Copies of this chain bind each other. A is one copy, B any other.
Amino acid sequence: MTKSDYKQLSDLGEFGLIDHLTYSFQIKHSSTIKAVGDDAAVLDFKSKQIVVTTDLLVEGIHFNLSYVPLKHLGYKAVAVNLSDVCAMNAEPLQITVSIAVSNRFTLEALDDLYSGIHAACERYQIDLIGGDTTSSKQGLLISITAIGVLNDDTKPVYRSGAQENDLICVSGDLGAAYMGLQILERERRLFEQDASFKPSLDPYSYIIERQLKPEPRADIVSLLKHEKINITSMIDISDGLSSELMHICKASDKGCKIFEDKVPIAQETKDAAKDLNMNPIIAALNGGEDYELLFTTPLSSFEGINKIPGISIIGHISASDKNLLMITANGESIELKAQGWNALE
């Protein structure tokens, strides 16, 4: 980029830039009384409870722009926050988006980022209600706060409600996002060694999409409600199945037993793991970023759960004096450890 591109950005000024980036966002919900443009947004949820969650994404820590297109990054930044709202059994409605950008970002780059944010807001019917736009000394940083509502008789679902003998369920499949990241990292290294290298990502399109464009499982929350499933605890899988199981078991003061051959892993994930000489169950247990839902429900929900496509029962909750165990495909019992990603390393 040239100096003149940057001038364009600072010449717009903070308020001009916010106007430019947000003018195409339409308000969709009657609970949004006032969105962008004053000291604060005004919201009205009538007598309903709400949930609030926030996430901070830092360039070089959470994403690498050498293989993450800015549009995908914008989409994903919204998606991961909506996923937290879904994990509370709530319907996501509003977000604020704050960004800090260094002077290497052009207006066109920010337009790309916001086109992804816009796409996610359209896909999930989300109102953009505020934010902040500033410079950074280095790199891009995105801070999003998401707000959701607990409609009608919907109760929030915490991590702490799992009961002994509850079924442990997960939506979708696990480990794909992590394997997608491994493939992207491999291609980046090959490209760095030889700039004429042409990546052939076709066989990996599913797992790469899982890495670049995760989808919050608002559909699962709706289906569970429709089937009147009693969810006793829930969490979204951002840091890997092991880590999330530990959160639920710790908060609920319980143990658990899951079965390796019940953990849902897509064929594309298994294929990529084979190509990279890795064990796909490790990706599912410790990989993270799948943004599927992990939840528990009483045994009596068995039939209801089976009516919902794409939910796997992977084990059950055990007494508080029991460990967190996985029974492997050949019948061994191993203890689960959280080896999920540490954002502070």
Please report A residues at the B interface, Cβ cutoff 8 Å: 9-10, 12-14, 17, 33-34, 37-47, 49-56, 58-62, 84-85, 87-88, 90, 94, 96, 98-100, 129-139, 141, 143, 145-148, 150, 156, 158-160, 234-236, 251, 342-345
Q: CB distance B137 to A139 under 8 Å?
A: yes
- Choose one: B34, B53, B150; the contact of A41 (CB below 8 Å): B53
Tell me the minimal C-beta distance from A111 to chain B in angstroms.
15
Given A133-B344, A344-B12, A42-B49 contact (CB < 8 Å): yes
Question: Are B143 and A54 neighbours in the complex by a CB distance under 8 Å?
Answer: yes
The 8 Å CB contact of A143, one of B85, B87, B98, B147, is: B98
Complex CA–CA separation, A100 to B258 (angstroms): 35
Contacts of A132 in B (CB 8 A): 54-56, 143
Closest to A52 in B: B41
Question: Can you list the 5 inter-chain pairs with the closest CB atoms, starting with the nearest?
Answer: A40-B53, A143-B143, A40-B51, A39-B87, A134-B343
Known pairs A9-B344, A54-B130, A96-B54; A87 contacts B14 (CB<8 A):
no
Are B50 and A135 in contact (CB-based, < 8 A)? no
**12 A-B pairs in the complex with CB atoms less than 8 angstroms apart:** A9-B344, A39-B159, A41-B52, A42-B49, A42-B150, A45-B50, A46-B47, A56-B98, A56-B132, A61-B134, A133-B344, A138-B139
Given contacts A54-B145, A138-B137, contact A88 B39 (CB under 8 A): yes
Q: Known interface pairs A10-B345, A137-B61, A344-B134. Does A42 touch B51 (Cβ–Cβ under 8 Å)?
A: yes
Q: Is the CB of B61 within 8 A of A129?
A: no
Question: A136 to B90, Cβ gap below 8 A?
Answer: no
Cβ–Cβ contact A344 & B135, under 8 A: yes
B135 touches A96 (CB 8 A): no
Q: Are B137 and A84 in contact (CB under 8 A)?
A: no
A38-B158 in contact (CB<8A): yes
Say whether A135 contacts B38, CB under 8 Å: no
